[in-house]
Structure 1
Amino acid sequence: MQLNVNQKFENIAVAVRQITRKTDQNNKNYYHLQVSIGLKNYDSKIWNDDEKIGEEIIPGCLAYISGIARDFKGSLQLHINSIQRIWNPSQELLNSILPSGYVNENDMVLEINNIISTISNPFIKTLLENIFAMPDVKKHFYKKAAGAEIHHAYQGGLAQHTIEVVKLIQSYCKIFSYIKYDIAVAAALLHDIGKIYELSSFPENKYTTKGRLLGHISLGADLVSRAISEIKDFPNDLKYDLIHCILSHHGTLDMGSPVLPMTIEAIAVHNADKASAEINAFHLAIERDTGLDGWTEYNPTYRRSIKK
């Protein structure tokens, strides 16, 4: 749904991302919200001090809102007159509101399976087949986001990001013949597997307690290590190379990697991951933006505005 300046809206369904009770210059309380419809995020205000609103409307819930869209400093802001929580939304309603990727889930499942089929090493192929058959992976990998806010932050984003990283690695392998294909592709498939535990499901899509305390790099390395331990005679050199790629894929210590990339495959995975994440982050910033000119609002992550 596309909203325009001075457009009235009535009973449109939104996902509530944030809600905060604030006080204005005249010492009157109001609610400041961030709501979303699909990929669009809208800054919103409720000029009402009803405590029931703060009790019922919480981050992660869905709600019907009515009001009018206004121009506020060059961006669209929703002035909400009424808001009503949706307590038991249907799956159809969820699908119509929540942010989703551009690739069908079934297509991504097939693509992951096709990628695994290109692996020659029997130990690595068995490892990948076993991991992608795990109940937790089957349940969450194709539905969760790859990030809470910055990149691929929508349903299916984790699988989409993973496939992008693999495709970049496959391109690298054609250019740099000395990259070990099986290790690099397997590491690309597994580099963010820990995010199935790091992020909660939609509509919340927030960091879990486990995710905050351990992080997806540690969680992913642990999952892969446990899966390897169940494969008889899995070579240690393959184990170390794969887990090293996972541990080092953020590239630097200050970005959260416990070790720096120290193999060709690790530096390839890091660069493919960075390219997929940053290009999508720019695209997502453009898609989310509700500004009225040709540039996004200032992006604090990348410290710049982005041309639409």
Structure 2
Amino acid sequence: MEKGHHVKEITPPCEAQGVFAVSQASLAQSRNGPYWRLALSDATGTLEAKIWSPLSAEFAEIPVGSLVEVQGRAALFREQTQLTVERLRVLSDEEAAALPPADFMPASPYDLDEMMAELHDLIGKEFVHKPWRKFVQGVFRDAELAAAFRVCPAAKSVHHAYVGGLLEHSLGVFKLCRRLADQYAELDRQTLLAGAIFHDIGKIREFSGGLVNDYTDEGRLIGHLELGIEMLAPFWQKAGLEEGLVRHLKHLILSHHGEPAFGAVRLPQTAEALVLHYADNIDAKMAQCRGLFAALEAEEGWTPYQATLSRALFRGPRTPQASPTEKEPRKSRQRPADDNLLSLL
């Protein structure tokens, strides 16, 4: 079976046919009868779809997470592409298994194995205090935990919301914190870097991952800050990490959202906690910028309004790169008369 159209290829008005993952499905009521409201997804994006009456009555259930073969007509509705479904069939388990998962799950643009190798190399260089090294390496020696860390998304929708997003984001925050620790020697470098690696590790249990990434029950009830501490506790106990360092690491994890309104359990109250919060925020914001700018068709222009940033963003002209033959500006020299004058002052 062929994938057919990808979401990004559907430009209304047009006929569309393809296989998509059902990421949302709900039955609603209109004046003309019941209808299905769907969100159809693949690796390139998500598309809103409707199954109107009387066709809607043919489906007693459309399981979220299933793959469906769809045919319909795409049109613009309130400036958004919407598909009116004319035919829909839920694929069997055998048919779904035969299709490449990469067609339906967006993934990090960076190679996951290369990012893991880079992270392990940096861990070996940075953690010279034996308990810190034993703790950090111990987490990644847990095969199940390391495998989940490699592929887990970092969010449901806002930033790094794709396979490998947690790894990409954690590595990005780690590298930012390294540079800040180079600049500010008063920081406890190893505590800060441990917080950078593990600040979001609780997302492994907060999100389901898979074709339809959603919050788990414990993700909704507890959240990834507390879940992360729960997951890490056996490893720092086994490593013999000093009590004061454990307490500081807990604070970094619990405060990295910055404000209670954004989910922080405590305000950042150490220099390292402040650095981690801002590094985390910068990496998340830049990921949102990349996603918004990637959707622009022109080299310059405005993005649509982004609710999570409370603004639209403008991508302006780039400063031209110097050509290989372009010479550095010649440094000015004072005239002899100026030198003589300065010597008299």
What TM-score, normalized to structure 1?
A: 0.90
Match of 1:156 among 143, 151, 164: 164
Which of residues 15, 27, 30 is equivalent to 2:21?
A: 15
Q: CA deviation at 1:289?
A: 9.2
The 2-side partners of 1:39 and 1:275 are apart by: 25
Structure 1 181/124 Cα, relative in aligned 2: closer, same or farther at 3 Å? Answer: same
Tell me if structure 2 keeps the 8 A contact 1:41–1:289: no
Give aligned pairs, total. 301
Distance (whole Å) between structure 1 residues aligned to residue 252 and residue 222 of structure 2: 18
The answer to whether the 8 Å contact 1:250/1:257 transfers is yes
In the alignment, which residue of structure 2 is the partner of 1:276?
Answer: 283
CA contact (8 A) 1:14 1:97 kept: yes
| Distance of 2:271 and 2:248 partners within structure 1 | 10
Please identify the structure whose Cα radius of gyration is greater.
2
Is the 8 Å Cα contact of residues 127 and 231 (structure 1) preserved in structure 2? Answer: yes
Aligned to 2:258: 251
Q: Distance in 2 between matches of 1:302 and 1:263?
A: 27
2:311 is matched with which residue? 304
Asked if the contact 2:104–2:211 (Cα under 8 Å) also holds between the matched residues in 1, the reply is: no
Distance 1:297 1:33 in 2: 23
Counterpart amino acid of 1:111?
A: E
Counterpart secondary structure, 2:151? coil
TM-score by length of 2: 0.81
Mapped to 2, the partners of 1:263 and 1:173 lie a distance apart of 14
Letter of the aligned partner of 1:202 in structure 2?
G
Q: 1:226 maps to what in 2?
A: 234
Match of 2:47 among 11, 32, 42: 42
Deviation at 1:189, TM superposition (A): 0.3
The answer to whether the 8 Å contact 2:32/2:53 transfers is no
Distance apart, 1:9 and its partner CA: 2.0
* 1:144-197 C-alpha deviation (Å, 9 max, x unpaired): 111112111111111111111111111212222322221111110010111111
Residue in structure 1 matched with residue 173 of structure 2 by the alignment? 165
Q: Which residue of 1 aligns with 2:59?
A: 53
- 1:60-86 alpha-carbon deviations (Å, 9 max, x no partner): 222111112212232222222111122
Change (3 A) 1:85 1:38: same
Aligned counterpart, 1:242: 249
Work out whether residues 132 and 239 of structure 2, in 8 Å CA contact, stay in contact via their aligned partners in 1: no
| Stretch of structure 1 that moved more, 67-76 or 203-212 | 67-76
The verdict on how the C-alpha distance between 1:15 and 1:175 changes in structure 2, with shifts beyond 3 A counting, is: same
* Alpha-carbon contact 1:40-1:288 (below 8 Å) kept: no
- Counterparts of 1:185 and 1:73 in 2: how far apart (Å)? 46
Q: 1:31 aligns with which of 19, 36, 43?
A: 36
CA drift at 1:129: 0.6
Corresponding residue for residue 70 of structure 2: 65
Q: Structure 1 169/54 Cα, relative in aligned 2: closer, same or farther at 3 Å? A: farther
Equivalent AA in structure 1 for residue 69 of structure 2:
Y
* Cα-Cα RMSD: 2.2
Aligned to 1:63, what secondary structure does the other structure show? Answer: strand
**Higher relative contact order at CA 8 Å, sep ≥6: structure 1 or structure 2?**
1
Extract unaligned runs of 5+ from structure 2. 1-5, 316-345
1:79-228 aligned within 5 A: 79-88=84-93, 89-90=96-97, 92-118=99-125, 119-228=127-236
- Alignment partners' CA distance in 2, 1:289 and 1:30: 33
